[in-house]
Structure 1
């Protein structure tokens, strides 16, 4: 994304505005979103009205012109309060990165104004988490439009977004491994299957979608035919992986903070001692805090690497989600154990964070895939072998 205008005054304004939306809407709604598995529409609408969904859009279309660091801080704070809302916004920004680079001005302006929610539609039944190997097809029609056919396995904000950044095989054979399209919501042939009733992130609206004879304009192609994988790896992946790490950091930090409050505020009546008076409990809390702070430092270095164009920026981006997924799983698990039976009660919010944290490992690229990518980069191999390109 372009035309970034990060500065201290603007950052303070964004932080204050976000805090107000969190206090007034997102935090009060978080347990309801989780309990009922409902899409967090009030929170998303409040963020949009406050101008927080267009933060990274270029100033030339009315956006905030902020960079990845600002958006990462936003996702971190949202995740600390409501994982479902944070994931919806995360996917919106990952898709916005493509639209900012290759999309039509009117959609960019709509996103900048807060009037347009977008998301990614990459994973498919045929290739699952291997988003770089689409199965769905794009076929040129006689009237100049393009027909899309695919079975997408997981699409965040399915049926709720205003558009989808959609992957397919290329129009022209051998043009490349993937082509990306901007698919408007509500088109004939585009359908959503069922409801999402998952373990965690229960309100993120992640559901299967099907395109059956869906028609889009040929002008809806994002970048060149066959260039979708390069766009996905070069434009989407840094935003998606870094924001996932910020998401994990928000969950981990809030879980560690809740564990600290519990140890400090809970007293054993029969002894008069607080839980914090036990050295083992303090040690375990310290471990959670150190793991969380280590992730914060690594995420900060990853952002610095990207901003400075360092040689290790790609490696850091691949590493940060892998580290974050393992960290948040361990920290939320440790916080549950540290708080004992109290952690199982809904009012603490720990069990919700524990469940939400499980998603990071399996969201594509999965932790296992990222470990392989890191190993390939570290040993001089291409990120994907030719068979997968």
Structure 2
């Protein structure tokens, strides 16, 4: 990443993300100002190729961006992560003018894969696409818990195939498309500002150029272009939360005192043991994250396996580390001002985001045993 973009990112985090992180969480409000600032700073267009007007950054730099944002605000990091996960498919198959807007930081996108009917089985959409005349297509679906719903400018949308035999087709769906509506709000345990809400399409008509790639090939495209970015960046999100919890816990135990003993909390062996375990787990997860990025970028033979592993490893690490931070810091960690309980809540999300930790564990076993990842594949 060039120095100017690094500096701009640091300024946005310091001036917009950190000061508003607690309000975003407490009030459950979308971090609009932070996302606008990230767009102005060139961060939202960072992964668009240079020849399309972006910074041309790769997976490694995107992971660093997401981790740094996650240390400050999980909701802002998740919104950015989902945008980055949508960008590769849009760069490869989306409208050129939209790619230009993304590069300029003027267009926020997100994924709309999971559905009420198939839940975390994102690879099995039940939403449909049907001809609507003059090459247009009508989409009908009940999407569940779409990040940035009502705030994103577009959705990378999945449906059953229009006419082909494949399991899925992908579409570029502008958020303002008639028939697309947001239902309900989000009052969740964690990531309270990520705007995750159900999205419904009722005869939402898109134009002939809305199809991303070939009809029926959406699952293959998602597995090749979207899923690696989603899984790796989700891991970076979890590592960022764990790192924040470690730093906050260290700050507390090195500053708080047991006056009757004339000691700091960190002078207690049991406290140091917990801090050490937190540091070990966080650093180990980050090492797996960096190795996964290296495997993907070099085309290493084990890249596919690493991609399947990394989100599960990092998600479970963040849960363990934030739990230890709550234990280590005791009653102080239950207060909002320390920030640990927010990370504790935010960390629970990655485990259940599709593909869930349980599904990824099964995928890792299947890959290791030479079996197809999905039944019937």
User: What band does the TM-score fall into relative to the shorter chain?
Assistant: over 0.9
CA contact (8 A) 2:127 2:139 kept: yes
Deviation digits for residues 72-118 of structure 1 (CA, Å, limit 9, x no counterpart): 00000000000000000000010111101111111110000000000
- Map of 2:121 onto structure 1: 130
Q: Structure 1, residues 324-357: CA drift from partner, whole Å, max 9, x if none?
A: 1110000000000000000011110000000000
Is the CA contact 2:5–2:41 (under 8 Å) kept in the aligned structure 1?
Answer: no
Return 5+ residue gaps in structure 1 as ranges: 1-5
TM-score of the aligned structures, taking structure 2 as reference length: 0.99
Q: Does 1:318 align with 2:308?
A: yes
**Aligned pair partner of 1:86 in 71, 77, 92:** 77
Query: Aligned residues, how many?
Result: 377
Alignment of 1:72-83 (within 5 A): 72-83=63-74
Indicate which of 242, 251, 269 corresponds to 1:252.
242
Residue 133 (structure 2) aligns with: 142
1:209 equivalent among 169, 193, 199:
199
- How far did 1:173 drift? 4.5
Question: 2:96 aligned with 1:105, yes or no?
Answer: yes
Match of 1:188 in 2: 178
CA distance in 2, matches of 1:137, 1:297: 41
1:47-86 alignment runs, 5 A limit:
47-86=38-77
Rounded Cα–Cα distance in structure 2 between residues aligned with 1:294 and 1:22: 25
Shift in Å at residue 144 of structure 1? 2.1
Q: Does the 8 A contact of 2:164 with 2:215 survive in 1?
A: no
Instruction: Indicate which of 307, 320, 323 corresponds to 2:297.
Output: 307
Q: TM-score w.r.t. structure 1 length?
A: 0.96
CA distance in 2, matches of 1:323, 1:305: 16
- 5 Å-filtered alignment, 1:253-272, equals 253-272=243-262
How far apart in 2 are the matches of 1:141 and 1:244? 37
Is 1:162 aligned to residue 143 of structure 2?
Answer: no
Q: How far apart, CA to CA, are the structure 2 residues paired with 1:15 and 1:269? A: 43
Is the partner of 1:183 in helix, strand or coil? strand
Q: Deviations over 1:303-340 (max 9, x none)?
A: 11011100000000000001011100000000000000
1:268 Cα offset (Å):
1.4
1:172 aligns with 2:133: no
Q: Superposition pairs for residues 327-346 of structure 1, below 5 Å? A: 327-346=317-336
Secondary structure of the residue aligned to 1:209 is strand
Residues in 2 aligned to 1:173 and 1:310: alpha-carbon distance in whole angstroms: 33
* Alignment partner, residue 286 of structure 2: 296
Partner of 2:358: 368
1:284 shift after superposition: 1.1
Bigger shift: 339-348 or 269-278?
269-278
C-alpha distance in 2, partners of 1:18/1:142?
A: 46
Q: Which runs of 5+ in 2 are unaligned?
A: none
The one of 32, 37, 52 equivalent to 1:46 is 37
Q: Is the 8 A contact 2:145 2:199 kept in 1?
A: yes
- 2 CA distance for matches of 1:284 and 1:210? 45
Q: Deviations over 1:236-295 (max 9, x none)?
A: 110000000000000001101111111100111222110011111111100000000000
CA shift for structure 1 position 13: 2.9
Asked if the contact 2:129/2:139 (under 8 Å) is kept, the reply is yes
The answer for the alignment partner of 2:223 in structure 1 is 233
Note the C-alpha offset of 1:60. 1.2
RMSD: 0.8
**Aligned match of 2:17 in 7, 26, 48?**
26
Q: 3-state SS of the aligned residue for 2:337?
A: helix
1-structure distance, mates of 2:218, 2:164: 14
In structure 2, what is the Cα distance between the partners aligned to 1:312 and 1:122?
26
